């Protein structure tokens, strides 16, 4: 077996039996210690290689000396997993376990196999059709109530129920309710234009409205009313004019459904309202979650997760909370 000497990012020459393969890490079952660990040899090798790569890249929390990439979980591999968790994933309880779709594996990918433009295109290809369908369904629902008025039966009745659930329209007087519905129609319509007719906003296709930003600590980041910002500022591309997707957006647990919900949320910020009001984050979660339930209609009509949840229900036809939606406070305290 060839032996390699690598110049790591720390400046030291390190000896390795074999080079770790490029690409993002994927495992089928949990690796590490405890009853949940299945320790399939192929999965163990993938984790051992990626932990070694942490050291090669000069990142904190990697093993030294290198782990033997043998597919066996011994005390050195268990200790290396614990060390990586303690240093790189301090927000979780270090348990020595790497699981598919969980934070330790996501952080390993962030450190050793950062997302590429290919990953961005693949993720958007899966999520944008769901976004388009959700926005079209939201516009249809709002239109049914605007044109037919609240009704006891039929599409307008279903749409009215959904508007009341997510935006508490029924708590407003007739004038404010009418204005609220018109504002919703305008915002959802412009969100749809960004992904359906991006050329009207001078985007070179829907994908160009999104940017891969490895420096973003959150899942995603958008400038309020960014879609109306100039394309160029001070002779440089204006970053406020794109929705920035961070490394966590590419974590294995961010499915196409979850990704579409995130994009709906960020599009709400990005477009906001025609009357100049900003769509903010007053609370995260589903309509009956702890941090959404107390919000009055005025705040729900300016809350990004309310826009995402209403559109999601309109597309799926279900008021049941999806598993990926978590409740959290508004502002930075609720950042994904």
Rounded to the nearest integer, the mean pLDDT of the chain is: 87
More confident residue, 167 or 328: 167
**Kind plus residue range of the DSSP H or E element containing 284:** strand 283-284
The residue with tokens 């990004």 is 304
What is the mean pLDDT of the segment spanning 58-80?
A: 95
Distance, CA of 250 to CA of 106 (rounded, Å): 8
Model confidence at 73: pLDDT above 80:
yes
Instruction: Report the Cα 53 to chain-centroid distance in Å.
Output: 26
Distance, CA of 255 to CA of 279 (rounded, Å): 25
What is the mean pLDDT of the segment spanning 256-260?
A: 96
Model confidence at 309: pLDDT above 60:
yes
Residue 23 burial by CB count (10 A; 0-12/13-18/19+): exposed, middle or buried? Answer: exposed
Q: At what angle do helices 154-167 and 304-316 cross, to 10 degrees?
A: 150
What is the mean pLDDT of the segment spanning 177-201?
A: 94
Per-residue model confidence (pLDDT) at position 216:
63
What is the mean pLDDT of the segment spanning 127-156?
A: 92
What is the mean pLDDT of the segment spanning 272-298?
A: 95
Cis peptide before 65 (omega within 30 of 0): yes
What is the torsional sign of CA 147, 150, 153, 157?
positive
Residues 6 or more apart whose Cβ sits within 8 Å of residue 130: 256, 257, 259, 260, 315
**225 in the Ramachandran plot: left (φ > 0), alpha (ψ -120 to 50) or beta?**
left
Per-residue model confidence (pLDDT) at position 132:
97
What is the mean pLDDT of the segment spanning 71-83?
A: 97
Instruction: Report the Cα 286 to chain-centroid distance in Å.
Output: 16
Domain 117-334 has CATH 2.60.120.330: no
**Contact status, residue 60 vs residue 96, Cβ threshold 8 Å:** no
**Contact status, residue 34 vs residue 97, Cβ threshold 8 Å:** yes
Distance, CA of 306 to CA of 309 (rounded, Å): 5
Model confidence at 49: pLDDT above 80:
yes
Q: Would you state the structure tokens that stand for residue 287, as one six-digit string?
A: 């309509």
Distance, CA of 133 to CA of 104 (rounded, Å): 33
**Residue closest to 282 by CA, chosen among 273, 271, 269, 270:** 269
**Contact status, residue 101 vs residue 253, Cβ threshold 8 Å:** yes
Distances (CA, A) of 330 to 103, 219, 263, 311: 22, 15, 17, 20
Distance, CA of 131 to CA of 331 (rounded, Å): 24
Per-residue model confidence (pLDDT) at position 113:
80
What is the mean pLDDT of the segment spanning 110-134?
A: 90
Q: Which of 96-100, 135-139, 245-249 has the highest mean pLDDT?
A: 135-139
The per-residue pLDDT for range 198-235, each reduced to its tens digit, is: 888 888 888 888 988 866 656 888 888 888 888 888 88
Residues of CATH 3.40.390.10 domain(s) within the chain?
117-334
Per-residue model confidence (pLDDT) at position 331:
73
Residues 6 or more apart whose Cβ sits within 8 Å of residue 162: 141, 310, 313, 314, 319
Model confidence at 20: pLDDT above 60:
no
């Amino acid at each position: 077996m060839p032996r390699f000497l690598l110049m790591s990012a720390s400046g030291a020459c390190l000896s390795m039996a074999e080079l770790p393969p490029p690409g993002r890490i994927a495992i089928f079952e949990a690796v590490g210690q405890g009853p949940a660990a299945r320790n399939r040899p192929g999965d163990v090798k993938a984790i051992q290689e990626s932990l070694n790569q942490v050291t090669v890249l000069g990142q904190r929390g990697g093993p030294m000396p290198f782990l033997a990439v043998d597919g066996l979980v011994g005390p050195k591999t268990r200790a290396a997993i614990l060390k990586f968790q303690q240093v790189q994933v301090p927000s979780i309880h270090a348990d020595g376990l790497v699981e598919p779709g969980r934070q330790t594996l996501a952080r390993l990918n962030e450190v050793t196999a950062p997302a590429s433009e290919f990953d961005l295109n693949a993720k958007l290809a899966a999520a944008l059709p769901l976004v388009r369908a959700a926005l079209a369904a939201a516009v249809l629902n709002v239109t049914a109530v605007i044109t037919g008025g609240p009704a006891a039966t039929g599409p307008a009745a279903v749409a009215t129920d959904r508007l009341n659930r997510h935006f508490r329209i029924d708590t407003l007087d007739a004038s404010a309710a009418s204005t609220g519905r018109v504002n919703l129609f305008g915002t959802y319509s412009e969100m749809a234009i960004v992904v359906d007719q991006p050329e009207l906003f001078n985007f070179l296709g829907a994908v160009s409205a999104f940017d891969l930003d490895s420096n973003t600590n959150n899942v995603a980041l958008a400038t309020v009313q960014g879609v109306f910002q100039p394309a160029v500022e001070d002779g440089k591309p204006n970053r406020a004019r794109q929705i920035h997707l961070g490394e966590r957006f590419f974590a294995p647990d961010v499915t196409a459904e979850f990704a579409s919900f995130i994009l709906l949320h960020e599009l709400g910020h990005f477009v906001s309202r025609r009357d100049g009001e900003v769509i903010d984050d007053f609370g995260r979660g589903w309509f009956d979650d702890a941090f959404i339930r107390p919000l009055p209609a005025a705040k729900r009509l300016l809350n990004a997760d309310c826009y995402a949840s209403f559109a999601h229900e309109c597309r799926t036809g279900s008021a049941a909370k999806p598993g990926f939606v978590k409740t959290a406070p508004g502002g930075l305290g609720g950042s994904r």
